[in-house]
Amino acid sequence: MNNSVQFAAMQSARDDLERRTLAGINGDLARLIYLASTRDYNSGVYHHEGLAARFGQEQAREALQTAHCDTFRRLVALPLQALVSELEIYVNVSREAPDGLIHAWRELEPYRVAIPMEMDATMVQLFLSNIKLALEVLELRQKLSQESPPSASLQPLLGR
């Protein structure tokens, strides 16, 4: 009984997290980064003030952890092309210049920190490998778009 009450509370926390926070974030990759940012680097424990205040510390922690794992699983299951689109959305949403972001991600590999703990080793390797490939594809697209002359439809916009 106690367990089912706890599970229901965790589920409510999870629904709340999905509805109020994650729904407002564009793309699963951005959601993954956000959820990883709620985890303490030293202890690996998730924390969210608002959720903890409403549903309790433990329920909030579990809701964040399960949402993180779910999001990671969805990203690993994506075809490479779809992951490139996810990365493109993330680059567009961030306020960084695409070249700078791609360079930083390739050099520093910050996406490694976004992986949930205790995940299947092959899934982790597939994710890392796909992100590496997606970055290369995006860089190639960037180069091609810089090399090709701007299209007629974009010229008035660029002139503004």
Partner 1 sequence: MGGAGVTPSLAIAVAAALLLLWLLLRTDADTGDQDGELHRDRTLAAAYALPPAELATRIFSRSDREFIVHTGSARLQRLYCSERRRLAAQWVRRTAREVNRIMREHRLASRAASNLNAISEMRLFLQYLELRLLCSSLLLLIHVFGPHALADLASQTGQLYQHIGRVLDNVAPANAMNSSGNSAA
Q: What does the binding site for partner 1 look like in residue numbers (CB under 8 A)?
A: 69-70, 72-73, 76-77, 79-81, 116-123, 125-126, 129, 132-133, 136-137, 140
Calculated CA dihedral for residues 22, 83, 120, 94, nearest 10 degrees? -50
Q: Which residues contact 134 (CB under 8 A, 6 or more apart)?
A: 80, 83, 84, 86, 87
Q: What is the nearest approach in angstroms of partner 1 to the Cβ of residue 63?
A: 14
User: Phi/psi at 17 (nearest 5 deg)?
Assistant: -60, -45
| Closest separation in Å from C-beta 117 to partner 1 | 8
Nearer residue to partner 1 within complex by CB, 79 or 156: 79
- Of 20 and 132, which has the nearer Cβ to partner 1? 132
Q: For the CB of residue 160, give the shortest distance to partner 1 in the complex, in Å.
A: 32
Contact 9, 55 (CB under 8 A): yes
- Pick 117 or 157: Cβ nearer partner 1: 117
Give whichever of 51 and 115 is closer to partner 1, judged by the CB atom. Answer: 115
| Owner of token pair 């997606």 | 134
For residues 7 and 20, which CB has a smaller minimum distance to partner 1 in the complex? 7
The Cα 5–Cα 92 span in angstroms is: 41
What is the spatial distance between Cα 29 and Cα 63, in angstroms, rounded to a whole number? Answer: 18
Alpha-carbon span 14 to 149, nearest angstrom: 47
- Could you tell me the smallest distance in angstroms from the CB atom of residue 135 to partner 1? 10
